[in-house]
Amino acid sequence: EADIYQTPRYLVIGTGKKITLECSQTMGHDKMYWYQQDPGMELHLIHYSYGVNSTEKGDLSSESTVSRIRTEHFPLTLESARPSHTSQYLCASTSNTEAFFGQGTRLTVV
């Protein structure tokens, strides 16, 4: 079934650890996005990609990095997690008419 998947759903990790949030989509979309969202609050665009080997920073400055080696895969990495990175991270991919969102990863850095 065509969908967009994020793993893990929840992650609690210690300060200074390196983490990678996974995002995969089986819809064949070229455009993919990462948003950061605190509960019930605004979505901030932190990274986007137009296709393989294309990545751009979004409107909100983020210490995270992304890669797009395959169309279906758009992982986000934090080299050294800090408590300020605690948030929900949403991945999305878009056709030209609609954005499809994953279920999100809720990250807590302690």
Partner 1 sequence: AQRVTQPEKLLSVFKGAPVELKCNYSYSGSPELFWYVQYSRQRLQLLLRHISRESIKGFTADLNKGETSFHLKKPFAQEEDSAMYYCALSRYNTDKLIFGTGTRLQVFP
Q: Which residues bind partner 1 (CB under 8 A)?
A: 31, 33, 35, 40-43, 45, 48, 50, 56, 58-59, 90, 92, 94, 96-99, 101-104
Q: Which is nearer to partner 1, 10 or 15 (CB)?
A: 10
Distance set, CA 21 to CA 9, 67, 97 (Å): 9, 11, 26
Residue showing tokens 């064949």: 28
CB of 86 to partner 1, least distance (A): 19
CB of 60 to partner 1, least distance (A): 11
28: Cα within 13 Å, side-chain hemisphere: 1
CB of 42 to partner 1, least distance (A): 4
Spatial separation of the C-alpha atoms in residues 96 and 62, rounded to whole Å: 26
End-to-end CA distance of the chain: 36
Spatial separation of the C-alpha atoms in residues 19 and 80, rounded to whole Å: 8
Q: Which is nearer to partner 1, 64 or 81 (CB)?
A: 64
Q: Which is nearer to partner 1, 13 or 71 (CB)?
A: 71
CB of 88 to partner 1, least distance (A): 11
